[in-house]
Structure 1
Amino acid sequence: MTQKKLVKAAKSGDDDAFYQLILLNKEKLYRIAYSYLKNETDALEAIQEVTFRAYTRIQKLKEDQFFTTWLVRIMINYCIDQCKKNSRMVGHEMDLENVKELQTDRPVINFNKLHIERALEMMEPKYRSIIELKYFQEFTISEIAEIVERPEGTIKTWLNKGLKGLRSFIHEEGE
């Protein structure tokens, strides 16, 4: 069954069709969640929450062919909210035990990747989202425009500004 038919069936109340749609998009959702949340447990929790939100709101999907972009948009919004929530909590709950947990939870990464991750974390969310969707999730400019509901020209501008900011940060850190 095609994705479009699965969406129609899911909107009609077919739980199995909805489940199939989630399975088709599970890996993409996980990669997005992990790129924002940097933690497997949080990424899996994000998938659960986004699945629930999509399930309860599937009737609001206007264009069946945009199911994937709609689902990705829900995931990005959830992740941005979680990042904001976590940044407010960092000062209050960070103790030695949490730091040890963070150190063992992440894979060993090279210095250049660490630089880029730090730079991305410091960027405005709109620029960060565009860069992550384009270069880490490999979406096209037109797909990103659909996801964030902005014109392609705006996406190109944000991508350009984001990349300039990224280069500037990396250059400053290198000195």
Structure 2
Amino acid sequence: MDLDLAKQAIAGDEQALLELLKLHEDMLYRTAYAYLKNEHDAIEAIQELTYRTLKKIHTVKEPTYIGTWLVRVLINICLDMKKKQEKLLYNYEHDIPSTNDQRLEMADIIARLPVDQQELIYLKYFQDLKNGEIAQLKQIPEGTVKSRLHKALKKLRVLIGRGEV
């Protein structure tokens, strides 16, 4: 069913596209929420995804990977939104020193990783993608995914254990 919808959506059937988005809605929302950490921004990201998908669905080459394509577009949207948020935070709070008296939550710790490592962690452990699927999504060899994940997990252990990099 997913494949048929994907083919119809790629061919320009907007109703099929909306059904496809509805089918993947929970997974996409969880991804956006994991990146952006609040409901309002996650919903905004999903709205932007809908818009971009309507404009670019015809560029999908392989209907089998429509879910992966949607996640990649959504992650790019989330990363763009995070950059804008960080810029705003810097503009308003650059003179205020930050204190970390309270214990950081896991999402906060993951947020301290470089963006490419955050993305791998979210794809692997929040989206339950296999290394091969991540390799396809990121367009890198599977061995590279494994080594980068290993490096990211090692850095996470350091952050959790000592609270520093």
Same fold (TM over 0.5): yes
Which residue of structure 2 lines up, in the alignment, with residue 4 of structure 1?
Answer: 3
Looking at secondary structure, tell me which structure has more helix per residue.
Answer: 1
RMSD after superposition? 1.7
Residue deviations 1:1-27, cap 9 Å, x none?
Answer: x11111221122211111110011111
- CA shift for structure 1 position 72: 0.4
Alignment of 1:137-152 (within 5 A): 137-152=127-142
Structure 1 gaps of 5+ residues are 95-110
Q: How far apart in 2 are the matches of 1:81 and 1:5?
A: 31
Which residue of structure 1 lines up, in the alignment, with residue 163 of structure 2?
Answer: 173
Q: How far apart in 2 are the matches of 1:22 and 1:93?
A: 36
- CA shift for structure 1 position 55: 1.2
Residue deviations 1:83-138, cap 9 Å, x none?
Answer: 111111102245xxxxxxxxxxxxxxxx5xx3422221111111111111111221
Alignment of 1:7-86 (within 5 A): 7-86=6-85
Work out whether 1:157 is the aligned partner of 2:114: no
Which residue of structure 2 lines up, in the alignment, with residue 132 of structure 1?
Answer: 122
- CA shift for structure 1 position 81: 1.4
Q: Check conservation: 1:37, 1:79, Cα contact below 8 A.
A: yes
Give the structure-2-normalised TM-score. 0.88
Q: How far apart in 1 are the matches of 2:113 and 2:64?
A: 32
Q: How far apart in 2 are the matches of 1:140 and 1:12?
A: 28
Give the structure-1-normalised TM-score. 0.83
Q: Check conservation: 2:117, 2:152, Cα contact below 8 A.
A: yes
Which residue of structure 2 lines up, in the alignment, with residue 97 of structure 1?
Answer: none
Q: How far apart in 2 are the matches of 1:118 and 1:14?
A: 40
Q: Check conservation: 2:131, 2:142, Cα contact below 8 A.
A: yes
Structure 2 gaps of 5+ residues are 94-102
Count matched residues: 156
Q: Check conservation: 2:32, 2:42, Cα contact below 8 A.
A: yes
Residue deviations 1:50-105, cap 9 Å, x none?
Answer: 111111101110111111101100011111111111111102245xxxxxxxxxxx
Q: Check conservation: 1:46, 1:78, Cα contact below 8 A.
A: yes
Q: How far apart in 2 are the matches of 1:172 and 1:45?
A: 35
Residue deviations 1:146-169, cap 9 Å, x none?
Answer: 222211111101100000000011
Q: Percent identity?
A: 41
Q: How far apart in 1 are the matches of 2:8 and 2:106?
A: 42
- CA shift for structure 1 position 171: 1.4
